[in-house]
Amino acid sequence: RGENGGSGTPVELLSAYSTAPQPGTSGSALRLTEIYDKGDAISHAENSTDFTISEAGIYSAAFHGVVAPAPGVTFPFGLTLYLEENGTGVSGSSTQHSFHTSTETVNMAFTAPVEVTAVPATLKVIADGGSIIYSTISLTLYKIGESTP
């Protein structure tokens, strides 16, 4: 029988969320206000758009949020939300919706792996396509392994 105890792997996790409705414009990053974190590899300042990764490795990013068109937009318009790492979109991290009326409200979500090789790395969720109102959003990042050459 082996020793009792944990797996020996430290937890590296950060989850940030925002529940209050906020405006967003095309090309802007979404702002998250509340934080739950464990470990030191991932950081986020409250009421900020940026997440900082300080340890190289492979991370999982999971996003979801409720989005509606802002007043005054022209229909139809397409919206894409995606994860950006150091100014470049992360492959496989986008979610899209085409709005046709002012009464639409949709849940948008994505999950994607992110390999961070150079630190610090800055991650953020970007809205592209039109003016929106977003609420009940969350981004959870956790380290799932080491990066191999």
* Strands annotated E in the chain: 13-18, 22-24, 34-38, 42-44, 51-53, 57-69, 77-85, 88-89, 95-99, 106-116, 121-128, 132-145
Q: What is the pLDDT of residue 50?
A: 97
Q: Which two tokens stand for residue 147?
A: 């990066």
pLDDT along the chain (149 residues), means of 10: 60 94 96 92 94 97 98 95 98 97 97 97 97 97 88
What's the pTM? 0.91
Q: What is the pLDDT of residue 147?
A: 83
Q: What is the pLDDT of residue 6?
A: 56
Q: What is the pLDDT of residue 109?
A: 98
- Contact (CB, 8 A) for 44 and 125: no
